[in-house]
Amino acid sequence: MQYSKNLHALVSYFLATRHCERSEAISHKEKGIASSSLLAMTFGNTGLSLMKIKLLSLVALMCCLGSCATTAEAQGPALLKKEDFKHYADYFNRMEDENITQAISNEDSWAWMEENIPLFEAPQKNFEEIFYYRWWSLRKHIKKTPVGYAMTEFLVERSYSDKYNLISCALGHHIYESRWLHDPKYLDQIVHTWYRGNDGQPMEKLHSFSSWTADALYHRYLVTGDEQYLLDMLPDLLKEYQWWEDNRQREDGLFWQIDVKDGMEESLSGGRHVKNVRPTINSYMYGNAKAIAKIAALKGDEALAKNYEDKASTIKTLVQENLWNSEDLFFETVKEEGGFAQVREAIGFIPWYFNLPEDKNPYHAAWDQVTDEGGFLAPFGLTTAECRHPDFRTHGCCNCEWDGAIWPFATSQTMTAMANLLNNYHQEMVDKSDYFSLMEKYVESQYYRGRPYIGEYLDEKTGFWLKGDQERSRYYNHSTFNDMIITGLVGFRPGANGQFEVNPLVPEETWDWFCLDNIAYQGNIVTIFWDKTGEKYQKGKGLHVLVNGQEVGRSEGLEPLALQMP
């Protein structure tokens, strides 16, 4: 019996060291010392020699078990070769100075990317370049703190930040983008730092900005399948939801916010001291309530799930009845004293980020504005306020105005909402061609003086980054891009219970081929590729979906596929 317990201890140690090899990478010397110590402790020094032969067999067995446990990791990409994309990291490393180094240096950037990211190949090379640039720049913001990893928004220190230079404004974007990293430790710890990194309590400034964290964490769970982590976060998310109800909910059930606390200061609809009812926070609270209801259902707490479903249903009704301007056919801000702010802003698309609006007219009509030059369509992307408004771009420059200039923060929300619209709604206002055209503008906007760049905001007509020469703006981590490539453009739509969909939003006449490979999904590796002629990848014509190298779905054209994990 004692030997059985001891053997179990050794097995546990072996699996733990395998995990360390994959993540923190302990040295051979450290492993050797630990192994000898554990053997001596487990079997006694006199029995150590007798155990050597048994240990060799045990190690062989554990290697087999370890290989079985990491099938997806061992599988790797099915079509693309990681080394074919190393040149991007090499170029990014030498194109400009390394201003600030946090957990992962430029020198180590490719090694980190090689271990953590999906691979993307497309005939339009600027799409491909920005894909790798955004992973390369995201990595810069991973910071090691005394309580674990954290993720910054600015690399340079900001006076209004929390401990470790943290700002909560884009936390939802950070989670959506980082959920595709192969090693879960980064995002696991980033979230824990926010919620438990202040002596076991939330960071002091967690609530400084409106948040859709519960929604983001549920959608992260759909990718990782880590139910235990999600359920462990439920008390934190319930506490946070209660804080917003206590501090931002009005008697009528709607939520208010000042624009700067949405991260959207100097807007046309609000101000730094005006408690308006905005589509932002009300959509976020709807999304958070829906997510908490689903998490509660996973836990088996039917009463809690129903409570939060009811909260979500109430918010949905209130938003559609009170924030929908039937004259402008748009979701708009309602002023503190009552009445609409009388301006269409990009925040009016946020309800679709959470699939809040009902699938019917007149709500679909709002999307006519993304293809209207009097609405939000500009040469370098989608503006934050409608171009036709008399106060458009009248608030000066360059103090972070949200009066019309293009903010990637908003572009990320609108394009994610648009992908939801194209996947989950029946409408004729926009199509794949519109989505692709807007993604193309987003890609083209992420250059500054001929080099890849992501900053705070840019001029809608010239594409000039309005704080581009300020050190604070370089590598600004305030938006998503790769999540949109994965779930929007290529169309990989994670689902529950092993289900997922693939619905590329690439018009067939646009690209003859593309491939998204090495997608870590619920312990497996997913590959999606399109080959119009069959000549590029030599695997046959059409759209193909592979799981661990085995085909699970195929269509002749770029058509939706509803699939089940094998």
pLDDT for res 114:
98
pLDDT for res 462:
98
Look up residue 527 and give its two tokens: 């590959």
Quote the distance between the C-alpha of residue 332 and its chain's center. Answer: 26
Look up residue 338 and give its two tokens: 């009552």
Whether residues 318 and 414 share a domain: the answer is no
pLDDT per position as a tens digit, 217-252: 999 999 999 999 999 999 999 999 999 999 999 999
List the domain range (segments joined by +) for residue 249: 210-343
Last residue of a domain, one of 480, 501, 523: 480
Report yes or no on whether pTM surpasses 0.85. yes
pLDDT for res 75:
80
Q: Running DSSP on this structure, what letter comes out for residue 101?
A: -
Whether residues 320 and 375 share a domain: the answer is no
Tell me, yes or no, whether 501 lies in a domain.
no
d(CA 137, CA 129): 12
- Residue numbers of the chain with a pLDDT score lower than 70: 1-74
Last residue of a domain, one of 480, 507, 528: 480
Look up residue 410 and give its two tokens: 């908003």
Tell me, yes or no, whether 544 lies in a domain.
no
pLDDT for res 175:
99
The closest alpha carbon to 242, from 209, 207, 204, 269, belongs to: 207
Whether residues 316 and 436 share a domain: the answer is no
Tell me, yes or no, whether 308 lies in a domain.
yes
Q: C-alpha angle with apex 485: 480 to 488, nearest 5 degrees? A: 100
Tell me, yes or no, whether 243 lies in a domain.
yes
CATH number at residue 314: 1.50.10.10
Residue 143 pairs in a beta bridge with 150
Residue 492 pairs in a beta bridge with 502
d(CA 185, CA 25): 13
Look up residue 518 and give its two tokens: 């090495």
Tell me, yes or no, whether 137 lies in a domain.
no
Tell me, yes or no, whether 444 lies in a domain.
yes
pLDDT for res 207:
99
Number of domains in the chain: 3
Whether residues 23 and 58 share a domain: the answer is yes
Which residue's entry shows tokens 């948040």?
Answer: 211
The closest alpha carbon to 531, from 502, 505, 495, 556, belongs to: 556
Contacts of 100 (CB under 8 A, 6+ apart): 140, 155, 156
pLDDT per position as a tens digit, 434-477: 999 999 999 999 999 999 999 999 999 999 999 989 999 999 99
d(CA 549, CA 358): 39
Whether residues 247 and 290 share a domain: the answer is yes
Whether residues 387 and 317 share a domain: the answer is no
Tell me, yes or no, whether 263 lies in a domain.
yes
d(CA 441, CA 463): 10
Whether residues 214 and 331 share a domain: the answer is yes
Whether residues 383 and 275 share a domain: the answer is no
Whether residues 255 and 371 share a domain: the answer is no
pLDDT for res 50:
36
Last residue of a domain, one of 431, 460, 480: 480
Query: Can you give the three-state secondary structure of 108-129, one letter per residue?
Result: CHHHHHHHHCCEEECCCHHHHH
pLDDT for res 309:
99
Whether residues 325 and 418 share a domain: the answer is no
Look up residue 379 and give its two tokens: 């040469």
Whether residues 325 and 441 share a domain: the answer is no
Tell me, yes or no, whether 546 lies in a domain.
no
pLDDT for res 15:
35
Strand ranges for 353-432 from DSSP E: 377-378, 381-382
Whether residues 298 and 385 share a domain: the answer is no
